[in-house]
Structure 1
Amino acid sequence: MTDQLVAERNWAGNYSYQAPRIAHPENVAELQALVAGARRIRALGSRHSFNAIADTAGTLVVLDRLEPGISVDPDNMTVTVSGGTRYGTLAEELQRQGFALHNLASLPHISIAGAIATATHGSGDANGNLATAVAGLQMVTADGSLLTARRGDPDFDGMVVGLGALGIVTELTLDIEPSFDVSQSVFEDLSWDLVLADFDAVTSSAYSISLFTDWSGDRIGQAWLKRRGTALASSPSPETFFGGVPATEARHPLPGVSGSNCTEQLGVPGPWSERLAHFRMEFNPSQGDELQSEYFIPREHAVDALRTMRRLSDVVTPLLLVGEIRTMAADSLWLSPNYGRDSIGLHFTWRQDQPAVEAALPLIEAELAPFAVRPHWGKLFDAGAAAVVPLYPRFGDFIALAGRLDPTGKFRNGFLDRAVFGS
């Protein structure tokens, strides 16, 4: 096992971890011993969170030394994989064997356990977030023992999106399906009026839809359409899309940035593993010059919420690199922002001016509050537990589950005390 005693920063460089020790166990047995002997301990994934959710006053554990252990079960259509493995690594191996996941997030670089613990997602009206694919998990609990749970077990739906508060997840079993092809087309300069007039038609036009906007003016910068399998064979890509015209070369979500680091576009079909994410695995996705926030709104309030955001353009646009609008299907995971409701996600990629962004967040949250807005757990938001807890019907059950699995608060930290436990 390797230990580090130096300060580490997150992916964007806006947060420095305060933990005095970072450990890299070589196997699960070493991890169990670490957890059993620790007073405070948490897992650190790919460092893609923009807040303090992964930090601890004790030991940070990184699972990058554990073997990926990718094992496909074709009879049950599942794959079992180490929690520290990155989605891009898993996707490449699944595609090699002829299988697929139902969706990917924008970045394939993120660790599987970390992304699932925070309910990270892709897009698509019928697609649940990444955590909805979890059929089973194994984690080291506070006393160092291994807990194994499967879909249908008591409290399983509370364990999946666990925020790292229940234990350190070492292994996950995910639903898979036969491999499929995807084509990705980008349209530019859409009409806000046309999009708002039939928002459902917009988001149902492809397997996965992303709209990129800076919230100003009467046009939407880009729409990314990811079309799947049978749709590719049955109909060509449209010539126009709600007033938008097809891009003639690969585009990046940020204006003026080369699209060469993005997954292949221009309607060229290819494997799901090379199209569902926005960015290529071999691309370094950040130079430390951005911040992120995201808020989830019930689908029925989508148009009103979009109009509200457009009215906030004077506040939002000057701080923004780009915004993204996506959709997700409802699920039954207790702390998923999509629990019990189909949702739209309003994502903000901010300029790295954290004081200005943090000053704007309370206003944004207040304006979106009438829509029962839920924040992304791994990104910047202002709300504390008093505002967040009432938004989740099973929050009390989650607190009770955490109390049983971690009675001394070994996995708690300042972020969880503020946003979850309310202490």
Structure 2
Amino acid sequence: MTTIDLSSAVETNWAGNHRYRARRIEHPRTVEQVQHLVAAEPRVRALGSRHSFTDITDTDGVLVSLADLPTTVEVDAGSRTARVTGLAAYGDVARALQAQGWALPNLASLPHISVAGAVATGTHGSGDRNGSLATAVAALEVVRPDGSLVRIARGEPDFDGSVVSLGALGVVVALTLDVEPTYTVNQRVFTGLGWDTVVEHYDAITASAYSVSLFTHWGDGGVEQVWLKSRGDDGPADFHDALPAGATMHMLDGGDTRAVSAQLGEPGPWLDRLTHFRMEFTPSRGEELQSEYLVPRDRAVEAIEVMRGLGERIAPLLQVCELRTVAADDLWLSSSYGTDVTAFHFTWNRDVDGVYAVLPAIEEGLLPLGARPHWGKCFAADAGALAPLYPRFGDFLALRDRVDPDRVFGNTFLDRVLG
């Protein structure tokens, strides 16, 4: 087991905006070592791919990285599931599944993120009929505060409260995911979709492909790019008042187009099209902050008008904003619990003070519409503002009290957002 002493070393999250304040980072090589660590320490947090933009994974105790645990992808064709272990990144899982003729129903824009971390924070891909990545989870294997290893499966009483858990219920060392036979996807990009068209035809626009992303800077030019990911050979040849892109495009001005997934309508394996970025390149820009608010689908047009009104104020900080849709689910702390949503995702310049200065204005406009922040990204709301947005918030607190009464997995982030 490898140890990093943080009293003499500097370790940060992926974006570089948060320096971990834990005493040390441990890298166990077996699940048994994870169990012994958790049982021996008064405060522990799991450390994944570090793609969160806050102190959600930090602790005043010990961070447990699963990076050195063996990663395997074991498919059970009979149940159409795959058991994924260790700190598995979606890109690695996707390659292993593809090699065996299987696929996941959806992927996030980045293949670099860990399955366990993405699930715990409610991370999602896109599509009117596609749930968040957490909805593919059939079972979890979790190390509890006393070091015991438990398996929680779909249909069991605590399951819906345990999947999107913010790391508050234990260290997830394996997940079982729903899979399906492999399939192909093609991606087409269109440019210049006017606001009047977006507002008038919003439902038709988001239903026009398996996965739809709208990229904008909230100016008068409307939506600058529309990315349509369609299964098989399907996909529109024209798109409202937008024009087809004649070359591969990056959603960020000046971005390296080699880093993005294949476009121009050529079908290819699902894992090479559902993500926005290729595994072998740094996703997005690297130096950035991100925020995201998931608004009930029936309030999306109102939310668009709110954001258009804030466009000039946020413009100096904004790299791009992306709109995507996510289907409803039954997971208690999911941002799409009980309702279909539109996700408003902000990629910011890495200006911590500037971003946190404008977040209250965004939340003042979006939270009254029912918007829920993405748990792993920058937001200002605390437990008092968040609790009314989640019908099962109290049930999750009760589950946490039962599973971790001594707050072994607690930290300052959870104190803020759960109370």
TM-score category (smaller protein):
over 0.9
Counterpart in the other structure of 2:237: 238
Confirm or deny: 8 A CA contact 1:262 1:278 kept in the other structure. yes
Q: Structure 1 residue 219: deviation in Å?
A: 2.3
Quote the Cα distance in structure 2 between the aligned partners of 1:402 and 1:342. 26
Q: Does 1:80 align with 2:90?
A: no
Q: Does 1:285 align with 2:283?
A: yes
Counterpart in the other structure of 1:4: 4
Residues 236 and 7 of structure 1: is their aligned pair in 2 closer, same or farther, counting only changes over 3 Å? closer
Residues 58 and 286 of structure 1: is their aligned pair in 2 closer, same or farther, counting only changes over 3 Å? farther
Counterpart in the other structure of 2:267: 269
Quote the Cα distance in structure 1 between the aligned partners of 2:254 and 2:65. 36
Counterpart in the other structure of 2:71: 68
Counterpart in the other structure of 1:313: 311
Which amino acid letter does the alignment assign opposite residue 93 of structure 2?
L
Confirm or deny: 8 A CA contact 2:105 2:179 kept in the other structure. yes
Q: Does 1:31 align with 2:29?
A: no
Identity in percent: 56
Quote the Cα distance in structure 1 between the aligned partners of 2:281 and 2:52. 18
Counterpart in the other structure of 2:326: 328
Structure 2 residue corresponding to 1:184, chosen from 160, 184, 187? 187
Quote the Cα distance in structure 2 between the aligned partners of 1:145 and 1:183. 45
Residues 91 and 389 of structure 1: is their aligned pair in 2 closer, same or farther, counting only changes over 3 Å? same
Summarize deviations over 1:120-167 as a string: whole Å, max 9, x none: 000000000000000001000000001111000011000000100000
Counterpart in the other structure of 1:382: 380
Quote the Cα distance in structure 1 between the aligned partners of 2:51 and 2:368. 29
Q: Does 1:404 align with 2:402?
A: yes
Q: Structure 1 residue 175: deviation in Å?
A: 0.3
Deviation larger for 31-40 or 189-198 = 189-198
Confirm or deny: 8 A CA contact 2:252 2:284 kept in the other structure. no
Q: Structure 1 residue 236: deviation in Å?
A: 5.4
Summarize deviations over 1:76-113 as a string: whole Å, max 9, x none: 00000114100000000111111110100010000010
Give structure 2 stretches of 5+ with no counterpart: none
Counterpart in the other structure of 2:360: 362
Residues 58 and 140 of structure 1: is their aligned pair in 2 closer, same or farther, counting only changes over 3 Å? same
Summarize deviations over 1:291-345 as a string: whole Å, max 9, x none: 0000010000011111111111111222100000000000000000000000000
Quote the Cα distance in structure 2 between the aligned partners of 1:102 and 1:273. 10
Q: Structure 1 residue 243: deviation in Å?
A: 1.4
Q: Does 1:159 align with 2:162?
A: yes
Q: Map residues 14-29 of structure 1 onto 2, 5 A cutoff.
A: 14-29=17-32
Q: Structure 1 residue 64: deviation in Å?
A: 1.0
Structure 2 residue corresponding to 1:135, chosen from 109, 134, 138? 138
Confirm or deny: 8 A CA contact 1:83 1:111 kept in the other structure. no
Q: Map residues 204-215 of structure 1 onto 2, 5 A cutoff.
A: 204-215=207-218
Counterpart in the other structure of 1:172: 175
Q: Structure 1 residue 256: deviation in Å?
A: 2.4
Counterpart in the other structure of 1:252: 250
Quote the Cα distance in structure 2 between the aligned partners of 1:374 and 1:295. 5
Which amino acid letter does the alignment assign opposite residue 86 of structure 1?
A
Confirm or deny: 8 A CA contact 2:70 2:86 kept in the other structure. no
Confirm or deny: 8 A CA contact 2:277 2:284 kept in the other structure. no
> What secondary structure is seen at the aligned counterpart in 2 of 1:172?
strand
Counterpart in the other structure of 1:40: 43
Counterpart in the other structure of 1:123: 126
Counterpart in the other structure of 2:337: 339
Q: Tell me the TM-score normalised to structure 1 length.
A: 0.97
Summarize deviations over 1:174-211 as a string: whole Å, max 9, x none: 00001110001111111111111010000000000000
Confirm or deny: 8 A CA contact 1:11 1:286 kept in the other structure. no
Structure 2 residue corresponding to 1:416, chosen from 393, 407, 414? 414
Q: Structure 1 residue 242: deviation in Å?
A: 2.5
Q: Structure 1 residue 258: deviation in Å?
A: 2.6
Quote the Cα distance in structure 2 between the aligned partners of 1:120 and 1:355. 25
Q: Structure 1 residue 285: deviation in Å?
A: 1.9
Quote the Cα distance in structure 1 between the aligned partners of 2:242 and 2:256. 20
Quote the Cα distance in structure 2 between the aligned partners of 1:219 and 1:375. 24
> What secondary structure is seen at the aligned counterpart in 2 of 1:338?
coil
Deviation larger for 140-149 or 310-319 = 310-319
Confirm or deny: 8 A CA contact 1:193 1:218 kept in the other structure. no
Confirm or deny: 8 A CA contact 2:247 2:264 kept in the other structure. yes
Residues 210 and 287 of structure 1: is their aligned pair in 2 closer, same or farther, counting only changes over 3 Å? closer
Which amino acid letter does the alignment assign opposite residue 306 of structure 1?
I
> What secondary structure is seen at the aligned counterpart in 2 of 1:318?
coil
Which amino acid letter does the alignment assign opposite residue 18 of structure 1?
R
Counterpart in the other structure of 1:353: 351
> What secondary structure is seen at the aligned counterpart in 1 of 2:275?
coil
RMSD across aligned positions (CA): 1.0
Which amino acid letter does the alignment assign opposite residue 260 of structure 2?
C
Quote the Cα distance in structure 2 between the aligned partners of 1:236 and 1:128. 21
Q: Structure 1 residue 284: deviation in Å?
A: 1.7
Structure 2 residue corresponding to 1:51, chosen from 50, 54, 67? 54
Q: Tell me the TM-score normalised to structure 2 length.
A: 0.98
Q: Structure 1 residue 7: deviation in Å?
A: 2.3
Which amino acid letter does the alignment assign opposite residue 185 of structure 1?
R
Confirm or deny: 8 A CA contact 1:195 1:242 kept in the other structure. no
Summarize deviations over 1:338-367 as a string: whole Å, max 9, x none: 000000000000011110110000011001
Counterpart in the other structure of 2:115: 112
Quote the Cα distance in structure 2 between the aligned partners of 1:21 and 1:254. 36
Give structure 1 stretches of 5+ with no counterpart: none
Confirm or deny: 8 A CA contact 1:41 1:61 kept in the other structure. yes
Confirm or deny: 8 A CA contact 1:182 1:269 kept in the other structure. yes
Quote the Cα distance in structure 1 between the aligned partners of 2:298 and 2:235. 30
Quote the Cα distance in structure 1 between the aligned partners of 2:124 and 2:374. 10
Q: Map residues 93-112 of structure 1 onto 2, 5 A cutoff.
A: 93-112=96-115
Summarize deviations over 1:365-401 as a string: whole Å, max 9, x none: 0011220110000000000000001111111111111
Counterpart in the other structure of 2:299: 301
> What secondary structure is seen at the aligned counterpart in 2 of 1:312?
helix
Which amino acid letter does the alignment assign opposite residue 262 of structure 2?
E
